[in-house]
Every structure is written in structure tokens, then in C-alpha cells.
Amino acid sequence: MATLKDVARRSGLTVGTVSRVLNNRGYISEQTRQRVYDVMKELDYQPNEMARSLSKKRSNTIGVIVPHVVHPYFAKLIGSLEQAAYDRKYKILLFNSQGKDEKEEEYIEMCKSNRVAGVILCSDTFQTDKFRNLRFPLITIERFLDEGTAGIECDNYRGGVLAAEHLIAKGCTSLLHIGGIRNHRKPADERKEGFEDVCKREHIKYASVESSQFIYDEMDYYSSIDRMLDEYPGTDGVFASSDVIAAQVLQVCARRGLRVPEQMKVIGYDDVNVASLTTPDITTIRQPVKEMAETAIAMIDRVAGGEMVPSRSLFPVTLVERGST
Amino acid sequence: MATLKDVARRSGLTVGTVSRVLNNRGYISEQTRQRVYDVMKELDYQPNEMARSLSKKRSNTIGVIVPHVVHPYFAKLIGSLEQAAYDRKYKILLFNSQGKDEKEEEYIEMCKSNRVAGVILCSDTFQTDKFRNLRFPLITIERFLDEGTAGIECDNYRGGVLAAEHLIAKGCTSLLHIGGIRNHRKPADERKEGFEDVCKREHIKYASVESSQFIYDEMDYYSSIDRMLDEYPGTDGVFASSDVIAAQVLQVCARRGLRVPEQMKVIGYDDVNVASLTTPDITTIRQPVKEMAETAIAMIDRVAGGEMVPSRSLFPVTLVERGST
């Protein structure tokens, strides 16, 4: 394997000069730069990122911790984070916590010992004491964390408002909100508040129910949706707090012989690909995932540069109208 | 930041002994091991993975290159790869090529300079000359690559056979196969061969059509599905080469007033979450993604240990019957 010294020897330059070319530091003539690149190619020299990171005390990798890669929302988020990281010359170390505390603890240790430039956390069973004494910025997406550097969220309250107003405008008179998870306080809980505030203001009958962590992990909401529709039989509009839940509401309605949107209107949240792939396709509240991801990655850069970043950033949401309403 | 020397000094041991504990090498009494761990905790010492990797000449990361993280099949595959990597103490560096040659080239360079333990490649626009002189094993999943160490595939031919046999057993008399991408030769092309062989054997009318790279990247098959149904008006059974395509066939059928499964039966491929979330849900050919991912990660270990691995491994597929047939 060719070394930096071999490149210097062959190009007739000092190791210091070759190193300056590689690190893009100081003045180097275009001719010298080209000579170094030619020799690197000739010798098949690979700069050793690990050695470079070691001297910099931090690597150019960013740890991303999500609870479920396979969930369409996190798949979309990871795709956007990878693109934003690539644009800023970072690489993504991906960790899938599956909601397990011991895995998350281990992941944070791995991030520490790999000297990551930062961590983006989208998981939610974290205990806060694991986050003391971190030497890198910690950015959360759609999560609260007291010890975090910054939190990025969509405007969940506004999302709930838009959903309720849309269902009411479409003529619904008895609304049901199906929430995500009961046990952890999350920004997404504000969707319910926005929804309920509109129902109260407009004097519309409503109910809100939440599902358990187990159901979230398995993405299996069928039996709880069935129970909810039994409990609130007059329901003619459902606001589901994810498109995955909304898709399952459509399936339960089909089984019960309820026509969507004629007898039951359904609105989801997120705007992931599932929302476009069902029959009918799903009206939803769109999170600007791409912009949220870009901001998260940019913040790691800004914190590293000594800048102050907002501790909480809220992104606007939009209503995307489709066949289910 | 505490160093190895600090740990040695505080625990009253030599640097060599502390290093042996960290690397789990040679005989160390349980008492000594415990003393080192206690001091590490006390000093908040973080072993530096980068430095360790440097001395080992390879890191404990595995590069994973996919064309589209957001596609449900790759989301599922990445989730399984992350789990399998975690079980064997590897971390995943994730790269999303978006089918762009220049990104892929850059990713391979990044993997080289980060001294990855191996690369798992699920992308498909790679030119083969990029893969010369790699110093790590290269495992492909559902892709052909002459320069690769090993290829892992599901039994695509058998999948095509199962799909055609199922549609025929359900009473279909005129079948249509909608393939993925035309321009690259891929293991998935064998689904078509299996499908056609059964149709010929059973003297069933059939047609096979394929979509373009652009449609695949955008996951937008609607207009080509419409065109295909116009061109083959008597079709009563469709075998789509992915669940995403199958979901869109359901949507086009709904728009055309064709009832599924009464007037049109539809079968997909992969068994990703979308297949369970449509109305009706989709009968599909299940790829054993978890087992394929575990094998890919295990192979990197085996190659590193000097073992020979099969150059091509075929995994069995199964039919999962649901509402669309």
C-alpha cells in the first residue's frame, strides 16, 4: 500500500507539501497540486481518513439513531439526512435502536469512541442521563431532550389545526383523533392539542385516543382502530397521527363496509410514500422532511464552528389533499 | 480527555496490561480486568476506535450502498443489515447513490480511505472498472457484479414460477407481467423467465413489459400501467415485480372501475410493509430479507478470516396469499 512518503518521493516534493495539498492548506501552485494528484493516481494512493480524523480529534461522520429504519417516516428522513450529509462532505453512521434502551446506550458509546462530529437522534426511549458529558453536538428531530444541543420539529400544533379544519370543511360532524404513542411526551402530542382546540372552537363532537408503544413498534393498529370505531360509532372523520395509521384505518373501513371518503373521511400525517400508494390515496399533513434534515446537518457544522444555534426550530407544515377526504 | 496512560497510572498497571484488557488479548485475571474497567469509568475514558482501527489496518465499519433509502425494499434491507451488523459488532456507513454514477464512485473512494471491513452493494448503475484493486470484500445483494466477492440473491426464477402458478390456479386466463427496469441486467430479470416458462407450459396467454430507469427512480408507474392495460385489454391477472408497482396497479384498477380480486387479480414481489397496508392487501412473493442480510454480514467476517465463500448464494422465496388474489 503506497504511503504519503512514497507520493512525496515520487513527485520530488517534501512530505509537508504533499500533506498541504491533501489538506488544502496554505498556498500551493496549481502545477504542484496537479503533480501530487497525478502521482497519487499512479501509485493508487488512498489518503487514510482514519489517520486524518485522529489528528483532527473528530471524524467526518455523523451518527444517526432512529427507532425503526423500516418505518416509512424514518426511511424518508434517513434518505434526506444522507443527501444533506453528502452535500457537506459528511458520512452517516446508521444506528437502529428498535426502541431498546441497552442498544441506545451502546450506540452513544460507539459514537463517542468513533469521535463523531455529531449525533442526530430520532429515537425516543432515551434516558436523559446518558447524554451528560458528550463532546459533540446532539441534534434531535421530533423529540424533546433537555441535554440536547438543538431540537428540530415540524409545527405539530398547526398540523392538528389544519387536519381538524379540513375535516370540518368537508362536512364531518363527529371526529376521532388516533395518536401515536401514549407513554413518552413528544412534539407530536401537540397535533392532538391543535386538533382539539379547533373542535372546541367549532363546537364539533370529538374524541382522542392513543395507542401503546407495542403497537407502534409493530406498526399494527388494526385491533385498536376496530375498538375505537366500536366505541365512537357516529364517527365520520378520522385524523390519524401518521400515514401508516391512516392506511390501516382505510383497511378497517373497507372491512366494515364503510366507503371512504363518502361515509368516512380520513386524514394522515407525514406524507410518506404509503400515503400515495393506497386506494384511495391519503390526504395528509406534509412535514418538510428534506428541509428539516438539511437544517440538522448544517447545525452540526455551525456548532463545530463555534456558532450559537436555536435550541428549538419549528418548520411549517402543509395540507396535501387527496382521495381519502 | 483521559488517555490510556492516565488509566494505567491510576490503576497502578502498565500501559501494556491496560491495552491487553481493552483488546481482550492474553491472560488477564478477572480482578485486574475489573480494576481497569472501574478506573476507565472513574476517569470517563473513551477508547479511541479510530486509533484502534488504524493499528488494525481495517475498521469495524461496513459500507452499505443502496440506490434509494426511501424505497420500502431498501428500507427493509437496511434495517436487517443494521441488526446483523450490530450482532457482529460492526457499524454501518450508509450511502444513498440515487442511481448516480459520480456519487457511487465517490462512495467507493470514501470506503477505501475509511478502511472499511467490507462493502455491501445494492446499487445497480455501477461500472465494473471501479471495482478493481479493492482491499476489502465486496458483497452484492440482488445484483450481478463480475468483480464482486460474492452475490446474494433470492430465487427469482422460482418467484416468477410461484406467481404465475398462483394466478392460474385462481382462474386467470390472460396474464401480464410488469417488470422493474429495462436497462440493466439484474437477478430480478429471472422472475420474468420463471413466469413465462409457466405460462408457456400451461398454454396461458401472457405478455411481459418493462419500465424505464426513470420510472424506477421516481417510483411512478401509473402512466405505464395505464398504457399496458390499454394494450392488453383482456388481462385478468397481473404479476408486478415489486409491491410498490402492485400497489399502483390496485390504484389504476380502482380508477378504471376494475374490482380486485373479482375482475383482476394482482400479485406483487418482496413483501414489504406497503403490501400489508393497501386495500385489499397484496398477495406477494416474500424475499427472506433478514436471512439474506445476515449472510451478507457473516460473509465479510468469513472472508476476513481467510475462508472461501460461495460466489453466488440463492435464497428460497415463499408465496404470501392476501386479499388481492
Residue written as cell 400479485? B267
Question: What confidence score (pLDDT) does residue A257 get?
Answer: 95
Q: Which domain holds residue A112?
A: 60-154+289-317
Question: What confidence score (pLDDT) does residue B283 get?
Answer: 98
Question: What confidence score (pLDDT) does residue B56 get?
Answer: 63
Question: What confidence score (pLDDT) does residue A11 get?
Answer: 85
User: What CATH number does the domain containing A162 carry?
Assistant: 3.40.50.2300
- Amino acid at the residue A82: E
Q: How far apart are CA A51 and CA A55, in angstroms?
A: 7
Assign A248 a pLDDT band (cuts: 50, 70, 90): very high
Residue written as cell 457473516? B298
User: What CATH number does the domain containing A40 carry?
Assistant: 1.10.260.40
Q: How far apart are CA A97 and CA B80, in angstroms?
A: 12
| CB-facing half-sphere around the CA of B30: CA atoms within 13 A | 0
Answer yes or no: is A324 within a domain: no
Of A32-36, A132-136, A148-152, the poorest mean pLDDT is in A132-136
Whether residue A172 is predicted with pLDDT greater than 80 in this model: the reply is yes
Distance from CA of B269 to the nearest CA of A (A): 15
Q: Where are the beta strands (DSSP E) in A142-300?
A: 150-154, 174-178, 205-209, 237-240, 265-270, 283-286
The SS3 call for residue A114 is coil
Q: What are the residues whose beta carbons fall under 8 Å from the beta carbon of A285, sequence distance 6 or more? A: A159, A162, A163, A191, A267, A268, A269, A270, A271, A317, A318, A319, A320
Answer whether B95 sits within 8 Å of A91, measured CB to CB.
yes
B58 inside 8 A of chain A by CB? no
Which of residues A135 and B96 earns the better pLDDT score?
Answer: B96
Looking at the structure, tell me whether residues A176 and A224 fall in a common domain.
yes
Interface of A with B in 125-144 (CB under 8 A): 133, 135
Of A134-148, A238-252, A287-301, B79-93, the poorest mean pLDDT is in A134-148
Looking at the structure, tell me whether residues B216 and B313 fall in a common domain.
no
CB B92 within 8 A of CB A93: yes
Which of residues A114 and B250 earns the better pLDDT score?
Answer: B250
Question: What confidence score (pLDDT) does residue A2 get?
Answer: 77
Answer whether B278 sits within 8 Å of A279, measured CB to CB.
yes
pTM, two decimal places: 0.82
Looking at the structure, tell me whether residues A278 and A164 fall in a common domain.
yes
Looking at the structure, tell me whether residues B179 and B244 fall in a common domain.
yes
Whether residue A57 is predicted with pLDDT greater than 70 in this model: the reply is no
Looking at the structure, tell me whether residues A104 and A198 fall in a common domain.
no
From the CA atom positions of chain B, what is the Rg in Å? 25
Q: Which among A77, A83, A88, A68 has a CA at the least distance from the CA of A142?
A: A77
Looking at the structure, tell me whether residues A110 and A170 fall in a common domain.
no
Question: What confidence score (pLDDT) does residue B125 get?
Answer: 57
Interface of B with A in 259-298 (CB under 8 A): 273-274, 277-281
Looking at the structure, tell me whether residues B218 and B301 fall in a common domain.
no
Question: What confidence score (pLDDT) does residue B261 get?
Answer: 97
Whether residue A72 is predicted with pLDDT greater than 70 in this model: the reply is yes
Residue of B nearest to A93 (CA): B93
Whether residue A148 is predicted with pLDDT greater than 80 in this model: the reply is no
Q: What are the residues whose beta carbons fall under 8 Å from the beta carbon of B209, sequence distance 6 or more? A: B176, B177, B178, B179, B224, B228, B231
Assign A321 a pLDDT band (cuts: 50, 70, 90): very high
Answer yes or no: is A302 within a domain: yes
Residue written as cell 407513554? A183
Answer yes or no: is B219 within a domain: yes
Q: Which residues of A19-40 are buried (b: 16+ CB within 10 A; e: fewer)?
A: bbbbeeeeebeeebeebbeebb
State mean pLDDT over A227-246.
95
Question: Mean pLDDT in runs of 10 for chain B (325 residues)?
Answer: 82 83 75 83 73 66 91 94 92 86 80 88 68 82 81 94 97 94 77 96 94 71 91 96 95 96 97 94 96 94 86 92 97
Question: What confidence score (pLDDT) does residue A268 get?
Answer: 97
Q: What ipTM does this complex have?
A: 0.78
Question: What confidence score (pLDDT) does residue B285 get?
Answer: 97
Q: How far apart are CA A150 and CA B22, in angstroms?
A: 34
Answer whether B72 sits within 8 Å of A76, measured CB to CB.
no
Of B51, B95, B219, which is closest to A273 when you measure between CB atoms?
Answer: B219
Q: What are the residues whose beta carbons fall under 8 Å from the beta carbon of A25, sequence distance 6 or more? A: none
Answer whether B49 sits within 8 Å of A1, measured CB to CB.
no
State mean pLDDT over A246-261.
96
Answer yes or no: is B65 within a domain: yes
* Residues of chain A found within 8 Å of residue B114, distances taken between Cβ atoms: 49-50, 91
Looking at the structure, tell me whether residues B293 and B149 fall in a common domain.
yes
- Tell which of A4, A23, A54, A114 to mutate to test the B interface (max B CBs under 10 Å): A114
What is the overall mean pLDDT for chain A?
A: 87
A92 inside 8 A of chain B by CB? yes
A65 inside 8 A of chain B by CB? no
Count: domains in chain B: 3
A169 inside 8 A of chain B by CB? no
Which grid coordinates are listed for B148?
A: 464482486
Question: What confidence score (pLDDT) does residue B5 get?
Answer: 85
A247 inside 8 A of chain B by CB? yes
Of A55-64, A71-80, A221-230, B255-264, the poorest mean pLDDT is in A55-64
Answer yes or no: is A54 within a domain: no
Of B50, B83, B95, which is closest to A50 when you measure between CB atoms?
Answer: B50
Answer whether A47 sits within 8 Å of B93, measured CB to CB.
no
Looking at the structure, tell me whether residues B237 and B298 fall in a common domain.
no
Which of residues B195 and A132 earns the better pLDDT score?
Answer: B195
- Tell which of A70, A115, A260 to mutate to test the B interface (max B CBs under 10 Å): A70
State mean pLDDT over A201-228.
85
Q: How far apart are CA A139 and CA A122, in angstroms?
A: 9
| Phi, psi for B43 (deg, rounded to 5) | -90, 0
A68 inside 8 A of chain B by CB? yes
Assign A283 a pLDDT band (cuts: 50, 70, 90): very high
* Residues of chain A found within 8 Å of residue B51, distances taken between Cβ atoms: 54
Assign A186 a pLDDT band (cuts: 50, 70, 90): confident
Answer yes or no: is A123 within a domain: yes
Answer yes or no: is B130 within a domain: yes
